Every structure is written in structure tokens, then in C-alpha cells.
Amino acid sequence: MSNKTKLHNWEFNTYNDPELTDLLNTVKNYADQLPKGNWLTLTGPSGIGKTHLARRLIKFWKRWHIWDGNRCLYPDFCEWARFLDEMRGSRPAQKIKELQYMGLLVIDDIGAENGTEWAAEKLLEVLNVRRGKPTVITSNLTLEEIWANSQRVGSRLAGGGKVKLTRAKNFNLRENQSVPVFVEPETEPEERAELEIETLPPAIAEVAKRIANKFVENANV
């Protein structure tokens, strides 16, 4: 395991539960191979830490300035149900196109929106623009359930990288869950770089992002 992965604070209790240990190791192995463009799909019951670990991967990306040497440096977290609502509003094609330029993309909680055909179609479009790019998907549906809703979504997830099913008890239902017993890291996290990005006024950050995207588009022609 790389030092970057070891030093990162995953803020995750495994409770010596083999299922949770396995989940954490899967996420760490995924972090180790970034910015390679495999996908990681985390499935399992509610409250076991799927979203939590996906967010920690975004922190990991920012903290170590991971980028693929070619595309935009920013990672992005996409709450799938909310994103669908936004797309119903306006310019869905433009919103989907923007996602292709993110360094690491998390698509959080697919399937929670009562899978309509339209939603499955939009998810396919997003998955298509993320082909070969680092992408983490979370769901509390199993792959089989996702597959039953949409064979095309299911087969793309299965073909895009690793699909990890975790069967563990909800974090919030565990005894002593308020006592943190994180083993790592041994050093303080370095969050300076991230602060610099996040303290940019949102309007300026938005413009900077757009310029970066334009630049990449032109470079790709």
C-alpha cells in the first residue's frame, strides 16, 4: 500500500468486522491505483459508510493533488437524486457533459430515485461520458437489483471495474459508535491545498473551472 494511502485519514471504524475491513481495503486499493480510470461500485445496506468512504476518496484526491496529467484536476461529488432533479430543470446534456471533465467523480446513491426509464437513461449517459475515468458509484441496491432495473446500467457497472457488496450492520446502530477508534493516520492530515481551493469565492472557482474545461476541449480537438 502506498504512503499516500497509509497517511490518509479514512475516519472509518472497522470494528474488527471482516466485512468492513474488506470494504476499507477495497477503497484503499482503489485509492492506490488512482488516477487509473477503473470504476468502483460500493453496494450494501444503509449506514455502513459507502458515502462516507466515497467522500474520503475525494479528500484523498484533493490532498495529494492527484490528476491524470491531461484533464481537469477537480473531483466532484454528485448526489444522484438531486442531480436528476437539476437535470429535469434545464440543459441536461450540458450538465452531463461537464461531468466528463472531473478528475474523480462520485455518483452517490443510484437507485434511490425509484428507477424510472428516464433516470436509467440519464445514468447511462453519465456512465458513458465517464468511460475509462475514475468514478465511484454507491447504492444500497445490489448489483442484481440494479441489473433487474436496467440491464444496461448493471452490465456497465460490472464491466467498468470492481463491484463491492458489503453486508454489515448500520454504523449508527452499533454500540460505542461514538467512540472513535481510528487506527490511521500516524501524522496529521495536510489539508492546506484543499483549503486553498475551497476558499476561492464560488463565482471565481466556477469561472476557473469553466476556463480549464474550455482549455481541455480545445486541446482535445
Residues at the interface with ligand ATP (CB under 6 A) = 11-13, 20, 46-52, 109, 138, 140, 171-172
- Residue 49, binding choice from Mg ion, ligand ATP, none, Cβ under 5 to 8 Å by partner class: ligand ATP
* Span interacting with Mg ion, options 48-56, 110-118, 145-153, 205-213, rule CB under 5 A: 48-56
Closest residue (Cβ) to Mg ion?
51
Shortest distance, position 30 Cβ to ligand ATP, whole Å: 16
**How many angstroms separate the CA atoms of 173 and 13, rounded?**
13
- Residue 12, binding choice from ligand ATP, Mg ion, none, Cβ under 5 to 8 Å by partner class: ligand ATP
Instruction: By CB under 5 A, tell whether 43 contacts Mg ion.
Output: no
Shortest distance, position 93 Cβ to ligand ATP, whole Å: 28
Q: Which is nearer to ligand ATP, 56 or 63 (CB)?
A: 56
Q: Which is nearer to Mg ion, 44 or 209 (CB)?
A: 44
Q: Which is nearer to ligand ATP, 20 or 126 (CB)?
A: 20
Instruction: By CB under 5 A, tell whether 51 contacts Mg ion.
Output: yes
**Binding region for Mg ion (CB under 5 A):** 51
